[in-house]
Structure 1
Amino acid sequence: MKKQKILIADDEPLARERLRRLVESLPEYQVCGEAGDGDATLARVAELQPDILLLDIRMPGIDGMEVATRLSQLQNPPAIIFCTAYDSYAIQAFDVQAAAYLLKPVRKSALEEALARAGRVNRVQLRALSGMSSANTAIPPQPPEAQMPVRTHRGTELIDIAGIHYCQADQKYVTIHHTRGETVSDYTLKDLENAYPNHLLRIHRNTLVGVRFIQALKRTPEGHNLVLLRDGLGELHVSRRHASCVRQWLQGQQPGQSPL
């Protein structure tokens, strides 16, 4: 049986060590990583894709409650178990749909029960996701996708890769347009193109488009190429140099490494 992956987030090394020992004493679970502050937690979630997050609340930078709020906006978030020395956040924990709220020092029996509950929560989430995808005929059912960490003035934000509509470069910055809005990042288009070649397709020197949102390629009376996006998201200009890659993708072929 596959073990469930646990990420431990706490700013106190001794607290992380104690939780790690408790988790490692339970055969159904394994610790996949640790984090010591809020931004690091979001980055590690994106990197490691844990099933369950053991999350402290009072941490440097963004606190655990804000981390949980941002994770709750994702398509496939980890189940969250708060492990804290403070009982005053319990009501807020329900608002972010935490699976459990444990007070330190965490007892093994309480942790084991909370982990079992969190595992059930995640299985329900996955079944709901599967049903939602099947009901959406515009976009074929997809497995839950990874998240991309983006540093912003508010801290680290996680963006569902499969929810990216398009990315446009403007001078030094790239604006990522996605299902929850817009995020300005300091990634380059080349960074994004290399990191997510199965999700993002180059259509212009300053634009990448999320392939899940490509509906059609059309030509204007003036001879310009445009990509029509699904869900009424508009149109994007396609350079003549990159039009063949879009045609190949629409025909179900693998676009070449360089446009024709």
Structure 2
Amino acid sequence: MRVLLVDDEEPARRRLSRLLRGLPDVEVVGDAGDGEEALRRVEELRPDLLLLDVRMPGMDGLALAQRYRELPPLIFVTAHDDYAVRAFEAHAVDYLLKPVRPERLADALERARGRLLAKQAAVSRVLEAVAPVDSSCRIVTVSQGVFHFFDARSISRFWSSDKYTLFLAEQREQCTEESLTQLEERLRSHGFLRVHRGELIQLTHVKAVHSRNGEHEVELQDGQLARVSRRSASTLKAALGMKAR
């Protein structure tokens, strides 16, 4: 779970970061000191969760949550106990009082994880309804509650990073809920080939194949490079009509 910390006090951000490092499957991807900066960081980093202070200069945490309802799930972390009702009205996952106890933080993150899993299940149901896996080239991403659709035939490469599947489109890195294995199965008939456990490429977008010391790498027309496993090298060469050497 990718977390963004939003608090105008740097010591508070550092302490939260230390606490989060002790929790499994949690990554602090960045921080911000006020609401305006938080909005920019959300757009840039696309976190799964915000840990958000209430009182900050400029746009405070409550104003941010009330004004921008399509933000990722929120957990308020504050020294003030009199904003809880308004926080939950803004659909906060939880409301933690400083100094935050580690066990209380862990419980809050489990609640957030449950909300994210429920959202992913809803996305999967939408995918099944609008894009049958046996016939569609459609790739769907979700960002801040907005569904975005891409044609897989315009995509050169999908790759795995940690627990995510990424690809480049519209001059930026995108993230889809589907695994590489799922994409491999439904995009095979559209010219995609799995060349590495972490790489799925569009064969019609291959510009060159580089071989060095028995290692292979594919260069794609948009400049991306994809790793090729030793095991997949012969399959790739056959698919591209290359003579075996």
Scaled to the shorter chain, the TM-score interval is 0.5 to 0.7
Compute the displacement of 1:132 (Å).
Answer: 3.5
The CA distance in 1 between the partners of 2:34 and 2:96, in whole Å, is 19
Cα displacement string for residues 25-72 of structure 1 (whole angstroms, at most 9, x for unaligned residues):
223212110100101101111111111111001112211112223442
Structure 1 residues 197 and 93: CA distance shift in structure 2, 3 A: closer
Structure 1 residues 133 and 69: CA distance shift in structure 2, 3 A: farther
**Counterpart in 2 of 1:181?**
none
Aligned residues: 156
Unaligned runs of 5+ in 2: 150-168, 175-204, 206-245
Unaligned runs of 5+ in 1: 148-158, 164-192, 199-253, 255-260
TM-score (norm 2): 0.54
Is residue 140–residue 147 contact of structure 2 (8 Å, CA) maintained in 1?
no
Q: What fraction of aligned residue pairs are identical, expressed as a percent? A: 42
Moved more, 85-94 or 106-115: 85-94
Residues 1-260 of structure 1: pairs in structure 2 closer than 5 A: 4-73=1-70, 77-136=71-130, 142-146=139-143, 160=146, 162=148, 195=171
Aligned-residue Cα RMSD (Å) equals 3.3
The CA distance in 2 between the partners of 1:24 and 1:80, in whole Å, is 19
Partner SS for 1:42: helix
- Give the letter aligned to residue 28 of structure 2: V
TM-score (norm 1): 0.51
Is residue 51–residue 75 contact of structure 2 (8 Å, CA) maintained in 1?
yes
Structure 1 residues 78 and 194: CA distance shift in structure 2, 3 A: closer
The CA distance in 2 between the partners of 1:144 and 1:70, in whole Å, is 23
